[in-house]
Structure 1
Amino acid sequence: MVAADVVLDATETGKLLALAGAEHTVGAESAAETGEPHAPDEPNPDDQQAITWCFAVEDRAGEDHTIAKPHDYETWRDRRWPFWPGSQLSWTDLDPIRLRPRTIRLHEPGLRRDRWTYRRIGARSLLADRSTEQDVTLVNWPQNDCWTRPLVDSTDPTSAQPWYESAAARDAKALSRAFLYWMQTEAPEPTAAPGTRGCSSAPT
């Protein structure tokens, strides 16, 4: 037996809470339960944070690193959500504060911030030897937030299935693969033909 004043659940999906029989909630609670004025009238356990399958890319200008076209590419490219301004595979998303459409491309010459610098994890300009290294950015953007299904199964929160083998994880991986292909082949760029074929990555 273990006793402690505070126990932190470090599992990816909070399974310890369910296994311990601890009081917890999955998804969105109702206004009646919390008193929160903007909460929904009815609780919705499937209203959960989107899952995002992140991947890193280098931008190797002048090279072609285009991946094979995913078999479900058109499905992801043509999908529409009622709360989203057009295709998710687009540089247009929603400003998280004002909830208004905004367009930010991979590279925005002359602007302080673009997609590339937003989550850049390796800046070549900061290195003493710049001869071989490339900039690297982490693709963790609204474009690869996957909303098809919740990650946590509210009907079976103690399921033994690893989260990364779930249907939600498979969808998230497929969306990220489609987004990379879109970036490489169709994404509009301000000073060149569509697509940035130098985006080099290998999402699994």
Structure 2
Amino acid sequence: MHAEFIKITGRTLMHISRSRVAVAAACGAALVFGSVSGAQAAAPGQAPARGVLAAEGQGGGSGAPSAADLRRATARPSAAAAMTIPKCQGTWNQTIANVTVKESLKGGIPWQVALTKKLNAPMGTVNFRTQIFADGHEVAGNGTQKRQWNYNFHGTVPRTFVRADNKKKFTLPEGRVVSFFWTWQSVAKPNYEGYRYVICQFQP
């Protein structure tokens, strides 16, 4: 495991050191997957319907994310093992932003984020930051884009990507967990910000 820095437009909100990663993963498991319905408890091996993302596997809102949401957004494979999560294929809408992901063996996982007008139009131009964790490794090459709020934010997690911690290539195995974490902040009004995350499983 490696040290990770969770930042929002330059402000460090959480630092998980090497010695605390395991603890954070355990916390993440309880937070991300601790809320299970009675039906799920009765049939823990039953997968959600295709394209359906459990509430615990996604989130977002106005303002800065809480520590709990930060842990959810960067869930480790050990945390995801607590329940079956859907494949990285579908569109999941929330009042703050809508997310679409697709997956394929050759193409990896293309993604798109559309910020909603009602909550984001007042921000004008935003600094939009992307962090992605695939099989517990942060994907290198993501950063911050300065764009109008209604820009079609998009990118791709290649099947073989470069790890941020050691700059080595890593090929994502089938069935592994991918965590997408996006944050944005108004350029003109720094107090206006938002975030969105989605956790899914690479099953092309």
Same fold (TM over 0.5): no
Higher strand share: 2
The structure that has the greater radius of gyration is 1
TM-score in terms of structure 1 length: 0.24
Q: TM-score, normalised by structure 2?
A: 0.24
Higher relative contact order (CA 8 A, sep 6+): 1
